[in-house]
């Protein structure tokens, strides 16, 4: 009898914990109209789901094109009243730089990769300068 009670209690505790995990779904979505780079990975334009997986990592996923990237992140001090992705642009290259969302209290920055550093030092960046491009979260 004790075994049945223990099993029932364990099953109930599992259901409660699954419910609390899904209640804390911190998923963001954005449609990016241009190809962009995260770390060393070039991602095509499209609709992306962004999910922080821990305090220092995020998953960026495009289900239509079956693409996913895990990137390291760090907390950004900038607060945002709206949800947006911030991209650094050098010439025709875009690099995801920040993920800002007030709805799930996320302010994350992606470390600058070697590829982005090279793009920032390129002749195109010197002539045209770098700029920031914003994409709204859906």
* pLDDT band, very low/low/confident/very high, at 74 (cuts 50, 70, 90): very high
Identify the pLDDT of residue 28: 94
> pLDDT tens across 2-44, in order?
444 434 334 434 443 333 333 356 899 999 999 999 999 999 9
Residue entry with tokens 């300068």: 129
**pTM to 2 decimal places:** 0.77
Identify the pLDDT of residue 40: 92
- Is the distance from CB of 61 to CB of 3 less than 8 angstroms? no
Tally the residues of the chain: 138
- Is the distance from CB of 61 to CB of 53 less than 8 angstroms? no
* pLDDT band, very low/low/confident/very high, at 54 (cuts 50, 70, 90): confident
Structure tokens at 48: 């992306």
């Amino acid at each position: 009898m004790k075994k049945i009670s223990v099993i029932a209690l364990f099953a109930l505790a599992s259901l409660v914990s699954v419910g609390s995990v899904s209640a804390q779904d911190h998923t963001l979505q954005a449609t990016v109209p241009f190809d962009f780079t995260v770390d060393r990975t070039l991602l095509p334009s499209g609709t992306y789901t962004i999910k922080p997986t821990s305090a220092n990592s995020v998953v960026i996923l495009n289900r239509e094109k079956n693409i996913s990237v895990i990137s390291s992140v760090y907390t950004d001090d900038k607060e945002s009243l709206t949800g947006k992705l911030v991209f650094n642009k050098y010439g025709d290259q875009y690099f995801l730089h920040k993920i800002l969302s007030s709805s799930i209290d996320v302010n994350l920055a992606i470390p600058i990769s070697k590829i982005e550093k090279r793009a920032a030092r390129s002749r195109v960046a010197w002539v045209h300068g770098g700029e920031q491009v914003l994409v709204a979260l859906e």
